[in-house]
Amino acid sequence: MRSACLVVALWLGAVLLPGACAYADAFSGLGSARPDEMLGAISTLAVSGDPQAGTVLRALGERHLFAAPDGGLYIRQGETCVDARTGQPVATVPDGLKPVRLNNRIRTALAGAQASMALLAPQAETRLKAADALYARHDPAMVPTLEHALSVEKDAAVRTRLMQARAATILAQPAQQDTQDQRLEAVRSLAAVGGLEARGILAGVAQSDAEAPQVRHAAQAAVSSMDWHLRAWSVAQNAFYGLSYGSVLLLAATGLAITFGVMGVINMAHGEMMMIGAYVTWMVQQAIRVSVPALEPVAILVAIPVAFVVCGGMGVLIERGLIRFLYGRPLETLLATWGLSLILQQAVRSIFGPTNIAVQTPAWLSGSVAVGGMDITLNRLAILVFAALVLGGLMLVLRRTPLGLQMRAVTQNRRMAALMGIRTPRVDALAFGLGAGLAGLAGVAVSQIDNVSPNLGQSYIIDSFMVVVFGGVGNLWGTLAAAMALGMGGKVLEPAIGAVSAKIAILVLVILYIQRHPRGMFPVRGRGVES
């Protein structure tokens, strides 16, 4: 490239080709449209020791690197624009700047180059991260770099990780006769590390025909012992998935357990209350982003009480304006609330548009933590905890507050409660509001894992009814047990028979169960039930 450039420049003279070959250094390939040239430039830069190399590669990864038509490279971030080669700010931004495009191949190479540079960083933490990245990447070309890093590394933890990274990298090289012992040692070292990544590398070795027999056998033994561990962990992992799925079902169903279970109102608009809760979450996020950007990470926490109040308020309005005229007429209630659900859907569609809206997941709810051999995703964990808190809070309200006492009294014997001076219409309105508010809370939670669109509610309403009926109408513990049973059941069946069949199987099982036990798992007993 460089010599070709030089020849052309000499031949045509600098006047005819002003600037086109003004830059012929390690950086110039970065602006190229050809992946091979970019890859070459990245690896050259990584070992060049150029003071600007780190900055330029970081800018490339963050897509702040721009190429000018004359081969100049600039780092542009907001208003500032600096020359990538010198690090000096430029007074006038050149014309025709185009962002340097990445693809996955270049992104992978870039991550490797950055990690290899970070291996010599002063902070042990940075070096550990770099070693992690190289372990995950196990690029055969990195062996010398790792050897060098190991020779100067003092920190024990980083050393261990570097050894593992070297082992992975050695195994990624093609097998040769004289490297047998080294490879055998690497297999042992990786077998001790464990995890899916190591399993992947070892499985590759175990299948390779080029490998010496004893290395291959060692790898096979390691893979089968790892598989046993992974299987054991996958049971625990599945149990967590089941709990987490159950907790979503529980959240969606608790509100319904109040309105349907306790009050006996079939509320088909329950799902739409969830949908409105999710939209409230979005509006709160937008409002906070505009007014107090510092609070953005906790916007979701602010949304919890707001969604409860908004949906609860709507619930009270719906009860006063619609439901109270229909008590004792279940079919009309069903039709009226279904109509209401369509009206709410279309209203939201008209106001916010038919497309999904993007509710942000704050950083502290993204990602996962590794516990032994399983990954616990943080948003699912948060929903699990949230569901437990909501259920606990609801129990407290029903058991320990005057409102809860009155609600239970009205449920058990409406006339007697009225004679004792309880204003039953007010209790009805508040109970319905409570149910709607709980749906709003479920909406906040669901906005973190699902689509937020006008159709959100429809995908939960059937499952919610199923949970409440399966658990036993009027019994919160039954709702909890049913949600967990359905969640666990679904997740146990899913890996074995697939998601579609699992869903069908669960429905069939629930139908069979309900046929034998029409009142669900935990029927409410007593005199008040029959009326």
Residues near another protein (CB under 8 A): 35, 63, 101-105, 107-108, 111, 136, 196-197, 199-207, 230, 234, 237-238, 241, 244-245, 248, 342, 345-346, 349, 354-361, 366-368, 375, 377-380, 449-455, 458-459, 491, 494-495, 498-500, 503
Task: State in angstroms the smallest separation of the CB of 506 from another protein.
Answer: 12
Select 248 or 484, whichever has its Cβ closest to another protein. Answer: 248
Task: State in angstroms the smallest separation of the CB of 339 from another protein.
Answer: 10
Task: State in angstroms the smallest separation of the CB of 196 from another protein.
Answer: 4
Task: State in angstroms the smallest separation of the CB of 496 from another protein.
Answer: 10
31 near 85, Cβ under 8 Å?
no
Amino acid identity of residue 254, one-letter, is T
Cβ atoms within 10 Å of 497's Cβ, excluding its own: 12
Please name the residues in contact with 18: beta carbons below 8 A apart, sequence gap of 6 or more: 70
Select 97 or 203, whichever has its Cβ closest to another protein. Answer: 203
Select 336 or 473, whichever has its Cβ closest to another protein. Answer: 336
Select 155 or 450, whichever has its Cβ closest to another protein. Answer: 450
Please name the residues in contact with 195: beta carbons below 8 A apart, sequence gap of 6 or more: 373
Which 3 state secondary structure label does DSSP give 173? coil
Select 273 or 446, whichever has its Cβ closest to another protein. Answer: 446
Select 198 or 438, whichever has its Cβ closest to another protein. Answer: 198
Give how far Cα 421 sits from Cα of 399, 406, 417, 425, 493, Å: 19, 10, 7, 12, 52
Task: State in angstroms the smallest separation of the CB of 342 from another protein.
Answer: 5
Both tokens of 250, joined, read 């529980």
Select 198 or 318, whichever has its Cβ closest to another protein. Answer: 198
Select 263 or 461, whichever has its Cβ closest to another protein. Answer: 461
Euclidean distance between CA atoms 233 and 360, whole angstroms: 31
DSSP sequence for 93-135: PPTT-EEPP--HHHHHHHHHHHHHHHTT-SSHHHHHHHHHHHH
Select 16 or 236, whichever has its Cβ closest to another protein. Answer: 236
Task: State in angstroms the smallest separation of the CB of 474 from another protein.
Answer: 28
322 near 336, Cβ under 8 Å?
yes
DSSP sequence for 411-472: HH-HHHHHHTT--HHHHHHHHHHHHHHHHHHHHHHHTTTS-BSTTTTHHHHHHHHHHHHHH-
Task: State in angstroms the smallest separation of the CB of 505 from another protein.
Answer: 12
Task: State in angstroms the smallest separation of the CB of 413 from another protein.
Answer: 40
**Nearest residue to 250 (alpha-carbon basis) of 505, 482, 514, 502:** 482
DSSP sequence for 222-268: HHHHHHHHHHHHHHHHHHHHHHHHHHHHHHHHHHHIIIIIIT----T
**Nearest residue to 492 (alpha-carbon basis) of 160, 238, 181, 233:** 238
Task: State in angstroms the smallest separation of the CB of 148 from another protein.
Answer: 25
Euclidean distance between CA atoms 317 and 325, whole angstroms: 13
Select 392 or 495, whichever has its Cβ closest to another protein. Answer: 495
Task: State in angstroms the smallest separation of the CB of 194 from another protein.
Answer: 12
Cβ atoms within 10 Å of 271's Cβ, excluding its own: 28
